[in-house]
Chains A and B, each alone.
Chain A
Amino acid sequence: MKSLKNHISLIIALFTVLASVQIYVSIDRTIAAYESHLKDDYSVIVVTNKAFTDSEIKTMSSMIARSEPISTSAVLERLKGEMSPKNLELLKLTLPKFYRLYLNRFPTPKEIKSLQKKLEKNSAVERVEGFSQTHDTVYKLMMLFKDVVQIFSIAIATVTSMLILKEMRLWQFQHAQRMSIMALFGAPVWLRSAVLFRLAIVDAIIATLILCLTFFLIDYYGFLVTQLKTIGITVELFHFANDALRSLGIALGISIALTFTIVLFQTEEE
């Protein structure tokens, strides 16, 4: 029973650390997916007095991923009844060219301004519309969300560090006597600390398994994923191979570092 208690206290501490890291990673992944979603939706409109090819437009800025000409035929179609075909043809020739520019990332307001300036340097460019007001609001909201997540992560990291420190003191108390008695009988350090290392490794594996199961269930029941889909974000909250491996690495790292600390600070009984 006592041994089970020892296991559970470390497993809980490790699980808290792993869960906070995983939550941060999942939120970061969601933000990245949302950013990509915003990037796909966001475009800059450019009005030019001559036709450009996609590659010509791309040379204007490295931020431009692709461009799409906006057809004027719909506007001309509407005017068909009101104008003669000759005037319509004349209008078609004199109408400026419209392009929708898609960017390779969701830009900052500063980047939009710089892009606008770059495009306007071209004498054929008559007007650039970056929709900066709408963009700025969305961008600021996203940054606020990122900051909140970061503050939350720092708070969790502080709390879990304290949990781990407390756990370390408990371990020192629980295992110091056995280790010092073993030292009195000439046990080498590896033998004295073998039990601790075994305990640490087993607990790290168990904590990782619990984390994997928890996130698997969250993914499986899909409540969160569905909610995100409704706002246009398709994201996999838990990448089984990557996340499980990273979590195991963190759990092993923490528990082994904890064990090393105990071994290093072990004092001999006389």
Chain B
Amino acid sequence: MDNVIVADNLTLAYKDFETIISKASFAITAGDFVFITGASGSGKSTLLKSFYGAIEPRQGNLSVGGIKMNRIGTSKLNFLRRHLGIVFQDYKLIKEWTIEKNVMLPLIISGYTGDVGGEQVKKLLGHVKLSHQAGKYPPELSGGEQQRVAMARALAHNPILILADEPTGNLDEYSSSVIWGLLEGANTQLKTTIVVVTHHIPDEIKVPYRHYHIEYGNINEIA
């Protein structure tokens, strides 16, 4: 199996601030379901950000999908991001776009429009049980519903890797179960690699997973 993410002595730090992740080395293989846990401020989200190029390695090497993230250029970064599905804790939905158009975003960026995109969006909104909300705008939806929309958006373009930052952080039980169900489904049926940053690994997870824990800037594989 190919490695989707490879970190070699990876050190992460924000400008002029102390090191957050120190000399981490690990590899995530295609089809893996990975949890990254750690206390608040431990650097879980920072590590996830480095996977989609929002923060560059201070030292060491990091490659995602075979692309080196050190001093990555804009066009390469855009290319990589078009193959990623990202779920943010604060959803990051475009407020002035309808739910349908928000889910369509990765497809618009990849150049799919019209019937192909429309069908895919319909299907995904059905999966997240939001077909009836397609024409509404994000502020009209609850937090749980917005996160389900973000989940549908992350899956819209069949990404090779889904990165989720506390995807069920403040959600109700029903929305949480829909999201975990979708992540599991994408992993088992589409063989999508999943990396989830979370405080707590939910009990309902049935798929085999790997677990990394961050403590004092060090990453250790637990399971």
Chain A residues close to B by CB (< 8 Å): 2-3, 177-178, 181-189, 191, 268-270
Contact = CB atoms under 8 A, between A and B. Distances in A.
Give the most central of A189, A269, A270: most B CB within 10 Å.
Answer: A270
B49 A270 contact: yes
Given A185-B105, A270-B55, 13 more contacts: A2-B96, A177-B95, A178-B97, A181-B93, A182-B105, A182-B109, A184-B81, A184-B86, A186-B77, A186-B84, A186-B109, A187-B109, A268-B54
Nearest to A3: B96
B26 interface: no
Nearest to B94: A178
29 contacts: A2-B96, A177-B94, A178-B94, A178-B95, A181-B92, A181-B93, A181-B94, A181-B105, A182-B94, A183-B78, A183-B81, A184-B81, A184-B92, A185-B81, A185-B82, A185-B109, A186-B77, A186-B79, A186-B80, A186-B82, A186-B83, A186-B84, A186-B109, A187-B109, A188-B78, A268-B54, A270-B49, A270-B54, A270-B55
Nearest to B109: A187
B106 interface: yes
A191 B54 contact: no
A187 B157 CA distance: 13
A5 to B, nearest CB: 12
B81 A186 contact: yes
B180 interface: no
Nearest to A189: B74
A183 B94 CA distance: 12
Contacts of B108: 187, 191
Contacts of B81: 183-186
B212 interface: no
A191 B109 contact: yes
A191 B93 CA distance: 17
Interface string B38-58: 000000000001001011000
A2 B137 CA distance: 13
Contacts of B92: 181, 184, 269
Contacts of A269: 92
A179 B84 CA distance: 18
A54 B161 CA distance: 91
Contacts of A184: 52, 54, 81, 86, 92
Contacts of A3: 96
Contacts of A270: 49, 54-55
Sorted nearest first, the 4 A-B pairs with minimum C-beta distance are A186-B81, A186-B82, A186-B78, A270-B54
Contacts of A185: 81-82, 86, 105-106, 109
A141 B83 CA distance: 71
A67 B97 CA distance: 74
Contacts of B106: 185
B70 to A, nearest CB: 18
A133 B41 CA distance: 85
A69 to B, nearest CB: 78
Nearest to A174: B96
Nearest to A192: B109
Give the most central of A186, A188, A269: most B CB within 10 Å.
Answer: A186
A253 to B, nearest CB: 27
B78 A187 contact: yes
A191 B49 CA distance: 23
